[in-house]
Homo-oligomer: A and B are copies of this chain.
Amino acid sequence: MKAGVLFSGGKDSALAAVLLSPFAQIELVTMSFGIVPNDAAAVARALGFPHVTIGLEQELAKTSVDAMIKDGYPNRGINQVHQTALERASERYHFVADGTRRDDKAPLLTLREARSLEDRLRVDYVRPLLGYGRRAIDALAAEHLEVIYGECISFDYEVELRQLMAISYGHEAVNRVFPKKHLQSKVTKRKNAFF
Interface residue ranges, A against B (CB under 8 Å): 1, 19, 22-23, 95, 102, 111, 114-115, 118, 124-133, 135-136, 139-140, 143-144, 194-195
Contact = CB atoms under 8 A, between A and B. Distances in A.
Given A19-B23, A22-B194, A23-B140, A135 B128 contact: no
Contacts of A132: 124, 126-127
B22 A95 contact: no
Nearest to A140: B23
Contacts of A133: 114-115, 118, 124-126
A136 B41 CA distance: 28
Nearest to A144: B23
A108 to B, nearest CB: 11
Contact of A126 (B111, B126, B127, B136): B136
B95 A136 contact: yes
Nearest to A101: B131
Contacts of A22: 22, 194-195
Contact of A124 (B19, B136, B143): B136
Given A129-B131, A131-B129, A139-B124, A111 B102 contact: yes
Contacts of A114: 102, 133
Contact of A131 (B130, B143, B144): B130
Contacts of A130: 102, 127, 130-131
A47 to B, nearest CB: 16
Pairs A-B, 5 closest by C-beta atoms: A127-B131, A130-B131, A124-B136, A22-B22, A130-B130
